[in-house]
Amino acid sequence: MRLARDFRGTLIVAALAVLFTLIAPVTLEFFTIITLTQVIGLAILGLSLALIWGFGGILCFGQTAFFGLGAYAYAIAATNIGGSTGAILIAVLVAAAFAAILGYFVFYGRVSDVYLAVITLTVSLILYSLIRRTSGPEYKIGDALLGGFNGTGAPPLNIPGDASAMLFPEHIFYVAMAALILVYILCGRVVTTHFGRVCVAIRENETRAELLAYDTRLYKLGIFTLGAAIAGLGGVFFAVGISRVTPDVFGLGQSALTIIWVIVGGRGTLIGPILATFALYYLTAALGTQQLLNTNLILGIILVIFVLAVPRGVIPTLTGWAATRRQRRALRARERRLRLRRPRGGEVAGEAE
């Protein structure tokens, strides 16, 4: 019952997002639309972490590793193949395959939560320093130069099957938005399936789930790989959005931001981290235009404050707050009815409040 309602909520949000997609190009400026494509890529990244951390309970600090691998794989494959459709598929597969291998070592080694966080972070940092060193002309895959610090160019999307028919930025925006909405619906659907419920059960109590004869390692590996595939897709749109991939996609700053989106948006929701991605992207963009306050400083303060004061995140806190208010109002309404019926007993009920 509740699951069906949850999924209906997902569909309602998705419908609102479709509405936004149709309105945005009409009302917003052309330049904003171009930036939006890259933010959508980031939002897909936030969504992937919302899925594996919020629902799978896997604290992955290096989600950007899969995001960056997706971006690089897309850029390299698209340059070599000459079309974007196959390249997107390759990007998603590369990210998922890498996560499956890494996840095998981590989950089947029964590495604890905290170690997992640090290992994933380390993996993305090593990728960062590795890819930064590839600046020489000898580092290339097929026709694509890796370009080291400066990164490599990412070709725009084209109509499937026709590599010369490039899409215009507003069309890429439609494609990116469609991808975000579809992935959002997919995630909303996955968490209501049997697989998703088992993952939530593992998040709540791994030992108990294991005693109920679920192979928790396999379920964790499954949701981890799915999350990585989604992150890889996010990387594709990010690369297309800025038409370039630089090593910064693997950097510590990007990893930190991803965590902050999910913390601020709230664990256990899917829409929260997406909205937080958009909000914080524009916040950091605004901070970048002034010199007084450093962006890292503000992000650090936000992270510390949320951990100490709002550990559940904005959306769960708001919905929790609304739920208690609704409950209290229902209670008061019932009391009023009781008071009308038995005028003397009302005072006692009032004191009990």
Indicate whether 321 belongs to the interface with another protein (CB under 8 A): no
Which residues, in sequence order, are CB contacts of 192 under 8 Å at separation 6+? 3, 4, 6, 7
Count the residues of the shown chain that bind another protein, applying the rule CB under 8 A. Answer: 46
Indicate whether 160 belongs to the interface with another protein (CB under 8 A): no
**Nearest-angstrom CA–CA distance, 222 and 214:** 13
Contact pattern for another protein over residues 65 through 104, marking x by CB under 8 A: -------------------------------------x--
Query: Among residues 3, 5, 20, 110, which is the contact residue for another protein, using CB under 8 A?
Result: 110
**Minimum separation from the CB atom of position 322 to another protein (A):** 25
Which residues, in sequence order, are CB contacts of 188 under 8 Å at separation 6+? 6, 7, 9, 10, 11, 14, 270
H-helix or E-strand spanning residue 259: helix 252-265
Identify which of 174, 222, 215, 209 has the alpha carbon closest to the alpha carbon of residue 58.
222
Indicate whether 251 belongs to the interface with another protein (CB under 8 A): yes
Q: What is the DSSP letter of 50?
A: I
Contact pattern for another protein over residues 287 through 306, marking x by CB under 8 A: ------xxxxxxxxxxxx--
**Minimum separation from the CB atom of position 259 to another protein (A):** 7
**Minimum separation from the CB atom of position 168 to another protein (A):** 36
**Minimum separation from the CB atom of position 150 to another protein (A):** 17
Q: Locate 125 and state its tokens.
A: 């940092």
Name residue 268's amino acid. Answer: G
Other residues' Cβ atoms within 10 Å of the Cβ of residue 237: 30
Indicate whether 113 belongs to the interface with another protein (CB under 8 A): yes
Indicate whether 311 belongs to the interface with another protein (CB under 8 A): yes
Angle at the Cα of 188 from the Cα atoms of 187 and 192, rounded to 5 degrees: 110
**Nearest-angstrom CA–CA distance, 35 and 236:** 14
Contact segment (CB under 8 A) with another protein among 8-16, 121-129, 181-189, 270-278 equals: 121-129
Site residues, another protein (CB under 8 A)? 59, 61, 102, 105-106, 108-115, 117-119, 121-123, 125-126, 128-130, 133-134, 251-252, 256, 259, 263, 293-304, 307-308, 311
